[in-house]
Amino acid sequence: MADNTTGPIGGKTVLVTGGTGGIGKATATGLAALGARVGIVGRDTQRARSAAADIVRESGNSSVDVFVADLSAQAEVRRLAAEVLDRLRRLDALVNNVGGFWATRHTTADGLEHTFAVNHLAPFLLTHLLLDRLTASAPARIVTVSSGAQAMGRIDFDDLQGEKKYSGQRAYNQSKLANVLFTYELARRLEGTDVTATVLHPGVTRTAFAAEDPTPGMKTLTAAVRPFMKTPARGAATPIFAASSPYVEGVTGVYFANRKAKKSSKRSYDREAAARLWTVSEQLAGLNAAKR
């Protein structure tokens, strides 16, 4: 959605995870319309190619790169990062958009709880693996799509994986708070560089969100409120703003909603929790100085 808070970004390259549907696809379309070369990531080749064709048609920009990876598996995140580094010579912005809700507990190929792995660990690992390219392309931006649900989140360090007790909502809220804690800690660690880290709530948006494993009654409820939800293009306005607007050049460690800086939950400013989550995430993502 181009408007008076965005500007042309020709010559820039942006990677949007989950650019094949929902808010991510609309974000990629909006950024492509502003002139960026856009890479999109999805799990299925056909779906990703078809989304890329839509983005080219709707934006009038043919510079769209397709990447296929299932971000629930760390080996896939690593393979994706290697492919991105190979194919995209510069990276001006990374939009960590992939995220979802699962009513029942699933585990990933790495034996991790799915919500925590996809919503938090995948962007954590991908960001680490692409950081040198972002730094080399600076000024650069790392934008992570959280949710208003961060306000209800608590990080349960004694049961991060929901092994003792699982609730889809609790896991989702925790992962979205983790997005905010991660961003604030990343911004602190990137101080003095020309790479910014911001996080945002896109607004309640009409997408395929939670369709894979909804809670009972969720479909009926969603159908009832669907007419009142934002269109994907409107849901993409804040991610596009954070990834491209000249108004937020140099702005870091900030939570946006409706294209405005907002306070996030009190818990999200807990530096001790952010540092602890960072350390645990490094361990769970198999990251240490030697492996990076």
Q: Of 25 and 128, which has the nearer Cβ to ligand NAP?
A: 25
User: Residues interacting with ligand NAP, by CB under 6 A?
Assistant: 18, 20-24, 41-44, 47, 70-72, 97-100, 118, 145, 147, 201-202, 204-205, 207-209
Angle at the Cα of 52 from the Cα atoms of 51 and 53, rounded to 5 degrees: 90
Question: Are the beta carbons of 70 and 44 closer than 8 angstroms?
Answer: no
Q: Of 34 and 52, which has the nearer Cβ to ligand NAP?
A: 52
DSSP single-letter state for residue 236: T
Q: Least distance to ligand NAP from the beta carbon of 12, Å?
A: 21
Q: Please count the other Cβ atoms lying within 10 Å of the Cβ belonging to residue 224.
A: 9
CA 182, CA 156: separation in Å to the nearest integer?
Answer: 15
Question: Are the beta carbons of 115 and 100 closer than 8 angstroms?
Answer: yes
Q: Of 141 and 201, which has the nearer Cβ to ligand NAP?
A: 201
CA 125, CA 281: separation in Å to the nearest integer?
Answer: 8
Write down the catalytic residue from 166, 172, 184, 269. Answer: 172
DSSP single-letter state for residue 120: I
CA 202, CA 66: separation in Å to the nearest integer?
Answer: 23
Q: In terms of Cα–Cα distance, which of 228, 174, 239, 186 is closest to 206?
A: 228
Q: Please count the other Cβ atoms lying within 10 Å of the Cβ belonging to residue 122.
A: 26
Q: Least distance to ligand NAP from the beta carbon of 222, Å?
A: 9
Q: Of 12 and 176, which has the nearer Cβ to ligand NAP?
A: 176
CA 112, CA 114: separation in Å to the nearest integer?
Answer: 6
Q: Classify residue 166 by burial, with Cβ atoms within 10 Å: 0-12, 13-18, 19+.
A: middle
Q: Least distance to ligand NAP from the beta carbon of 290, Å?
A: 27
Active site residue 269: no
Q: Of 43 and 267, which has the nearer Cβ to ligand NAP?
A: 43
Give the catalytic positions in this structure.
172
